[in-house]
Amino acid sequence: MNRAILYSNAEPSPKQREKFVEFLRGKYGEDYELVWEQEEVEGNGFRLAVGTEVYDWSLQGRLAQLRETLQKVKAEGKLIPLLKETVHDWVPQALAEEIGTVESVGDGIATVSGLDNAVYGEILIFQGGVRGMVMELQQEFLGCILFDDDDNVSAGSRVSRTKRTAAVPVGEGFLGRVVNALGVPVDGKESVREDGYRPIEHPAPAIIDRQPVNEPMETGILAIDSMFPIGRGQRELIIGDRQTGKTAIAIDAILNQKGRDVICIYVAIGQKESSVAQLTENLRKRGAMDYTIIVMAGASDSDPMLYLAPYSATAMGEYFMEKGKDVLIVYDDLSKHAVAYRAISLLLDRSPGREAYPGDVFYLHSRLLERSAHLSDEKGGGSMTALPIVETQNSDISAYIPTNIISITDGQLFLEDDLFFAGQRPAVNVGLSVSRVGGDAQTKAMKKSAGALRLDLAQYREMEVFTQFASDLDDTTKRQLLYGQGLMRMLRQKQYHPMSQHQQVAVLCAALGHCMQNIPETHIETYVNRLISQMEQTQSALCNKIDREGILTDAERTQIQEEAKQVAEQFIKETE
């Protein structure tokens, strides 16, 4: 005969036993032997366990059922009076709750048995209130990652299903805040009032719901906006060795969105909390935190939190994107994200592949980055632009994770350590960097002023290598080398100093018009600053037109070059 276990403070009377047996016969169509076990149950209630199902009639269980009813009514948009009426008329029901048992726990991973109907991505509640998410489905057990400290979870403790997938709170209130991977504020300020919840994992927009990437997402960095333009809805990888300026590019791009009605989200994965605090303070000083959300999974956080952080941040970005806004999201960095996922997969006993990564590590990042898009006008026309960052070892872009993400994204900015240590900041390698959107994401003014800049730089780099073996150089070659050196010097840009479009256009017109050809390399930065200042004073109407309309005629380009030549002549006289 089947057994059912009744947990309560006092032993049931024969009449109560008879009612329980009658209930079980009506529910399951079979006779059950009722076994009583004494257990402290809140509210003088009871718990009835039938296999893996539990009917929780304790005070806590009934409150949980009431809470779920109220959330359901609220989700349906019912008014407050109707909510009160619902509470008044509410009667708890005998609902079966599936209960499992923890078999083992450690390193943020719990193995659970008994939850035969649980699904991938479902949230589980452990005894003590610790939450977790199903990550592995085996025939006899579930593998679950824990969101909280696993010290409160032990083998043999109970686990219950929620029948909900993981979700994160979203809303306007998160702007200017630092939150963890679950959307909980970690900046020591008051709690955030959310506008709703979005699932952490969500399908990417369908092809028919997208439109071409053809609006520029200006970074304010001359080397990028002129040669490797980024469009709204694009995914542009920033890749390079440690300490080559990858984060600096992303931060400057965020600073440049001030006043452009763009929501920025910065995801810090596996970074020191002190580094994130310093970055937050830099953004706050420059007024960028007003439109920025920082999602932090620090170096001291568990691997499950590092794994969840980029997905949670993307869900927050999707909330704004679907409201028709433009979003810029920075993942810093996905190398640490992949390492955290590898650790989780190995602890879940998944088969290791190349470099011990699991077989689905490509899908790990593709389903994340594909959620960035430029939505169609029917869907509101919002966009989410992704700047994933990947760290390489010894400039090896052919490693497993870099090649995976290169194949997912729409281009990459490769930062070279030799250029960085030579003083070229940003240290963008012109030969290996590319934007697959290209000129479609540039304004007409930028396209006209940039001209053949990339080709000229490529020829200079090639000639520079060749001339290392030559002793005598002709005047033409020397002049071309000087021109190339001047271009490289012109592209140097200080951090936290993004340039507006008219400033970039003025500098490019001057450089490609050979207006700074005779200026010593060490003085080019001073000349550029003077040219910009002079242009903004004498040609303010033209500067405003370039910023507003993004158009530059041939006559206006000639006008800028004439101004640049005059400034150059005066500058050379002063420096002689």
Q: Which residues are catalytic?
A: 436
What is the distance between the alpha carbons of residues 405 and 401, in angstroms, rounded to a whole number?
6
Among 102, 99, 221, CA closest to 161:
99
The angle formed by the CA atoms of residues 45, 49 and 52, to the nearest 5 degrees, is 140
Would you give the end-to-end CA distance of the chain in angstroms?
105
**H or E element in which residue 281 lies:** helix 273-285
Single-letter amino acid, residue 473: L
Cα-Cα-Cα-Cα dihedral sign, residues 296, 299, 302, 307: positive
Q: In sequence order, what are the beta bridge partners of 37?
A: 7
Instruction: Quote the CA–CA distance of 192 and 169 in Å, as a whole number.
Output: 9
Q: What's the one-letter identity of residue 74?
A: K
| Alpha-carbon gap, residue 519 to 343, rounded angstroms | 55
What letter represents residue 342's amino acid? R
Kind of pairing, strands 292-297 and 2-8? unpaired
Tokens coding 116:
């035969």
Q: How far is CA 189 from the centre of its chain?
A: 23
Cα-only R_g, the chain: 31
Q: Which of 154, 152, 158, 117 is nearest to 137 (CA)?
A: 117
Residues 6+ apart with CB under 8 A from 25: 31, 32
Other Cβ atoms within 10 Å of 420 Cβ, number: 18
- Nearest Cα neighbor of 253 from 282, 280, 230, 287 is 230
Of 331, 214, 206, nearest in space to 265 by CA:
331
